[in-house]
Amino acid sequence: ELAERLGTTRQRISRRMDKLERNGVVIKYTVIPNFEKLGYLHAILGITLKAGVDLDEIVEKLKGIEEIKVIEKAIGAHNIVVHVVTQSDMKKMQGIINAISKEIPGIEHMDITFITEVCKLEVF
């Protein structure tokens, strides 16, 4: 379909995609799930750390939490933004958020936003 839309061959698209993958430009292919229909909750945590906290150390700790699906370093109101996905159970989500709060030393502030619908997600 991509080759047809771009007016080129499948082989050319395949070679280009392979090159983008090898060079790390395309890291992963994914889908955009409807979490509500799947019976899941999706929350975004904006975490602000106290000055002097080792950001890389915190990221490594967060990688070990199964329900965290995205970890992003940030500049602005928050140092780290994480996406948490779990079964549609508010008590379970609360437990995960509490565990993150206890696991991560030096949290100054954490904002929690529950995602109700992904309306658009484009990288470019």
- How high is the pLDDT of residue 92? 95
Q: pLDDT for 48-90, tens place per residue?
A: 999 999 999 999 999 999 999 999 999 999 999 999 999 999 9
Same-domain status, 101 and 42: yes
> Angle at the Cα of 57 (from 51 to 62), degrees rounded to 5?
105
Of all residues in the chain, what percent carry a pLDDT higher than 90? 77
Same-domain status, 26 and 74: no
Same-domain status, 66 and 100: yes
Of all residues in the chain, what percent carry a pLDDT higher than 70? 98
Same-domain status, 46 and 79: yes
Domain span at 87:
35-114
How many domains, in total, are found in the chain? 2
Same-domain status, 54 and 25: no
Same-domain status, 100 and 78: yes
| Strand order through the sheet with 68-73 | 68-73, 80-87, 40-49, 107-114
In whole angstroms, give the CA distance from residue 102 to residue 13.
47
- How high is the pLDDT of residue 71? 97
pTM of the entire predicted model: 0.76
